[in-house]
Chain A
């Protein structure tokens, strides 16, 4: 066990710091949360700068224009960008972290050639159309139908929690292509051009007001058959290949922010019980940071993040919740103003234990895959007994 960075890691960090110090003063002011056209310009401008400097697609293979960096450099990249308060991935999120890696792994040559370079250069914004009103934790129960008709699939259904739906030019779409087989076996993965006739996007007003989440209504949308990624009915597997690119770095930016928040909060915390709680929370974040290093190390040497990777979201989101609740206590009635330090953050982080697999689903996964416990009794309609 060794926590020392290698000479090449240190050189990378120094080079990146120099670049960030020279580049960040040149970027425009961050637009308001709800101004989507401005946010697209701001976020894609940052992606272009990353691309020109050779920092776009840190984890992507070199043959697809990425940097092919080892996991330790991916960790350093995210850590330094967060420390320097560089722009977040923003509207590039789905393209660079999800759709791009999926296309690299499963797309045809044509699909790759068309989308990969543009995603990397910040010239194409993607959104995600996975969840449905009746398919959340049970995503594989989705009912949006894609029926083959000549050279097209005709897609009808309703999607929800579509990240960046209001600005996405393309969507990752999961739809049911065979309703007569077990639910995981009848799903396909499509590239959905969001300007096709029959698509209506409605932003969801969250507890924060404006957000990246939308509802997407699909009414007999004709999606050309060549937009399918992977084979027909193989979409569930295609969806699950994506995570392998992240290599233990998924929560690095979040965690750097959380540690900064804890340190900035510290001078405001005077009550002895609150100070003790702060000490506890900092201990947790320090440990999760060490666990991130472990996961990144394992990813580099063994190809997977192991136990640490499977508990990270659960542990991180609970720790972040504690920190945010502490900040609300400390701010007291100051917290009645959402513009006050960290109040907006408190609201935002309520989603962490829900989005991308609720903490309850995470616990099922940990219990079943790591501890080997059997699945819960199925409801009678799923073939269980009464």
Chain B
């Protein structure tokens, strides 16, 4: 047992972080997702890691970095559908009958993947008729409200669905764990720079303790994500479903609470469009609605006892 990052994994994290630092600056991230973003990420290999012989743990580490930089796009679908469909995939769980589908990144995508217990169906993006929201919650995730999704073609059978849901939950949780860490870094930097009463606000315990709790939450969440990813890779080391549920619970909560902590620590600036904090917070809310909410996963843990 060595549940620490290997040297190769440290190198992978450093590599992805360097790419993000170079290419996904605040300005670029605020430009949103497009084909350029897709191709640059595809070049780094983040979508094909598992196909290229890396592990789900490695993929999770990569997504943690993408989350830290709040990189926009239907990124998880890029991994899930790698090698299965051509072009840029987006996707969602099939909504209940009569409930409109909220489709992310429809315009920038080529195909919409719809997961249900029956399998995965692919719908050409051009065949999806809906109304673009003029005020989506996450400004970097455009949403179309689609009354009825076309049936599309079955591209994977019911046997893959459980795996897709687990993998999707783990990668989403990894991204959320990245948000949880990124928001601590952002607000720590602010707490050191911002002075009131002639001293950095980070010296005040009222602020320091918020950030200490946020760091602890982020660290626990990322460990849960790593444990879930390692269990995906090697199901004999634990209960895969429980590990995945736990990761999505803790990462979802950590991202949300840490982004809110960051808003608070930034004071009035945290309420502005100009400061990046709201992008993390809004993405956290959005990601808590995909691949199962924290509450749904907590319920699933309890139901299995």
Contacts and interface: CB of A to CB of B under 8 A. Distances in A.
Interface of A: 1-6, 9, 72, 263, 266-267, 269, 272, 275-280, 282-284, 286-288, 290-291, 293-294, 296-298, 300-302, 307-308, 311, 314-315, 360, 362-364, 366-368, 370-377
A374 B246 CA distance: 34
12 contacts: A1-B5, A1-B226, A1-B230, A272-B299, A279-B300, A283-B224, A287-B223, A315-B219, A363-B205, A371-B184, A371-B208, A376-B208
A364 to B, nearest CB: 7
B211 A314 contact: no
B208 A363 contact: yes
A2 B3 contact: yes
Interface string B185-203: 0001001100000011011
Contact of A286 (B3, B200, B246): B246
Contacts of A1: 2-6, 9, 57, 226, 229-230
Contacts of B200: 373-374
Given A308-B223, A366-B215, A286 B205 contact: no
Contacts of A372: 188, 192
List the 10 shortest-distance A-B pairs measured between CB atoms, nearest first: A279-B298, A367-B208, A283-B246, A279-B301, A287-B224, A363-B212, A290-B227, A366-B212, A373-B202, A279-B302
Given A276-B295, A284-B220, A286-B242, A3 B208 contact: no
A284 B1 CA distance: 21
Interface residues of B, number: 57
A17 to B, nearest CB: 18
Contact of B299 (A72, A279, A367): A279
Contacts of B9: 1
A293 B246 contact: no
A297 B216 contact: no
A89 B199 CA distance: 47
A283 B57 contact: no
A186 to B, nearest CB: 27
B288 interface: no
B202 A315 contact: no
Contacts of A275: 299, 302-303
Nearest to A362: B212
Contacts, number: 180
A311 B303 CA distance: 30
B259 interface: no
A47 B229 CA distance: 40
A294 B3 contact: yes
Contact of A283 (B213, B236, B238, B249): B249
Which of B6, B223, B250, B303 gathers most chain A CB within 10 Å? B223
B266 interface: no
Contacts of A308: 219, 223
A368 B299 contact: no
Most buried by A among B191, B199, B208, B212: B212
B231 interface: yes
Contacts of B301: 278-279, 282-283
A324 to B, nearest CB: 17
Nearest to B4: A297
B208 A364 contact: yes
B305 A360 contact: no
Contacts of A279: 245, 249, 297-302
Contacts of A288: 220
A290 B226 contact: yes
A308 B224 CA distance: 12
B24 to A, nearest CB: 23
- Candidate in A272, A314, A363 with the most chain B CB atoms within 10 angstroms: A363
A148 B200 CA distance: 45
B118 interface: no
Nearest to A307: B219
A310 to B, nearest CB: 9
Contacts of B299: 272, 275-276, 279
B199 A377 contact: yes
B212 A4 contact: no
Given A363-B208, A367-B208, A373-B208, A311 B220 contact: yes
Interface core residue of B188, B191, B298, B302 (most chain A CB under 10 Å): B302
B258 to A, nearest CB: 13
A151 B227 CA distance: 58
Interface string B275-305: 0000000000000000000110111111101
Contacts of A287: 220-221, 223-224, 227, 246, 250
Interface in B64-120: none
A287 B207 CA distance: 26
A206 to B, nearest CB: 27
Given A297-B1, A370-B215, A377-B199, A363 B246 contact: no
B273 interface: no
A368 B227 contact: no
Interface string B22-46: 0000000000000000000000000
Contact of B220 (A2, A291, A371): A291
Contacts of B246: 282-283, 286-287
Contacts of A290: 3, 223-224, 226-227
